Amino acid sequence: MVVCLGGGGGGCSADAGRDAPAWARGMATVQADRLPAEARKTLRRIDDGGPFPYEKDGAVFGNFERELPRQKRGYYREYTVRTPGERDRGARRIVTGGGGEIYYTDDHYASFKAVLR
């Protein structure tokens, strides 16, 4: 099941088509401007190189769930997306790949959407 973010249905696709970058093809997608405000803020911090509010931001993401394409260890990095009302890091993350890929999860790595800019 694909859940679109941002209402109106224009923000995501169940299967990225030919217009999507190769790394996003076959995945659910979301336009960056349709992400929750907290995720957009995390993206800006990533773009700016920090500062990051959580100690684990920028840590290696192991991809143990194998939801993302297999890469060698260290290829993926994860960043916390603040969840209002949560006392801990919550379930939302942005994961970046060494080739410029950006993924978003709001269910603690059970599924990902390719973030398109």
pLDDT at 10 over 90: no
Q: Give the pLDDT of residue 19.
A: 77
Average pLDDT over residues 69-89: 95
Length in residues, the chain: 117
Q: What are the beta bridge partners of residue 102?
A: 96
Average pLDDT over residues 95-103: 97
To the question of domain 37-116 being in CATH 3.10.450.30, the answer is yes
Active site (annotated) includes residue 108: yes
**Residue 14 half-sphere exposure, CB side, CA atoms within 13 Å?**
2
Among candidate residues 38, 55, 67, 78, the one labeled active-site is: 78
Among candidate residues 38, 55, 86, 108, the one labeled active-site is: 108
List the domain boundaries for the chain.
37-116
Active site (annotated) includes residue 65: no
The pTM for the full model equals: 0.85
Q: Is 24 helix (H, G, I), strand (E, B) or coil?
A: helix
Burial 40-75 (b: 16+ CB within 10 A, else e): bebbebbeeeeeeeeeebbeebebeeeebeeeeeeb
Residue keyed to tokens 């990533």: 46
Average pLDDT over residues 3-28: 64
